[in-house]
Amino acid sequence: MRCILSAMLMLAAARCPLAAAADGPLDVPVPAGWKMEYQGTDGLDFYSVVPQPAGSGLLMFYKWPPPAKPEEIPALVRNLAGDFVAAVKKGKAVLASEKCEVEGFVGAHCKGSYVVFRFKSEGVDGPQMHAVFMMSVDGLIWNGQFTGKPDDWAGALKLLNAIKKKN
């Protein structure tokens, strides 16, 4: 059910008109050389951030529509991680480990949880990984994922720690 909801939200976001990043409800400090796009309409807010050079990874996140409380985030992330493992098992990719170890991050205005998965085979650009995460930014719950190089995940996590709600 959550996978279907996530897919529907991403599809809806893809159909939204592209807006300037400044139009979104979050202040997202994008690292030098990275590119961010914001799409939003009718309360659906979707961010995508790409490390440069393009093609080396993708961070994307959107407002989580079901009612949720910040203290529920670790359990929600564990469920999303389990859904990801099940989806990978149906495909051709192979994970180095299926272990779902929930880790946390805390910024000045946000707090979240994530699970990182590494793939057994390397991509064209070297080792690849995938992270699923959720965070609370000043009380609003956001859901997202990152796919790319482990070094780019470190930059993405730093970005997530610095996100805050616009005044």
Report how many domains make up the chain: 1
Which residue in this structure is represented by tokens 């064209």? Answer: 124
What's the distance, CA 38 to chain centroid? 14
Count of Cβ atoms closer than 10 Å to residue 20 Cβ: 9
DSSP state of 43: T
Question: pTM of the predicted model, to two decimals?
Answer: 0.82
| Distances from the Cα of 94 to the Cα of 16, 55, 99, angstroms | 33, 21, 13
CATH of the domain at 72: 3.40.1000
Range of the domain at 50: 2-165
Q: Could you list the pLDDT tens digit for every one of the 167 residues in the chain? A: 344 334 333 433 443 333 334 578 999 999 888 899 999 988 789 999 998 766 678 999 999 988 999 999 999 999 999 999 999 999 988 899 999 999 999 999 999 999 999 998 776 667 889 999 999 998 899 999 999 989 889 999 999 999 999 98
Assign 3-class secondary structure to 44-74: EEEEEEECCCCCCEEEEEEECCCCCCHHHHH
Asked if residues 95 and 120 have their Cβ atoms less than 8 Å apart, the reply is yes
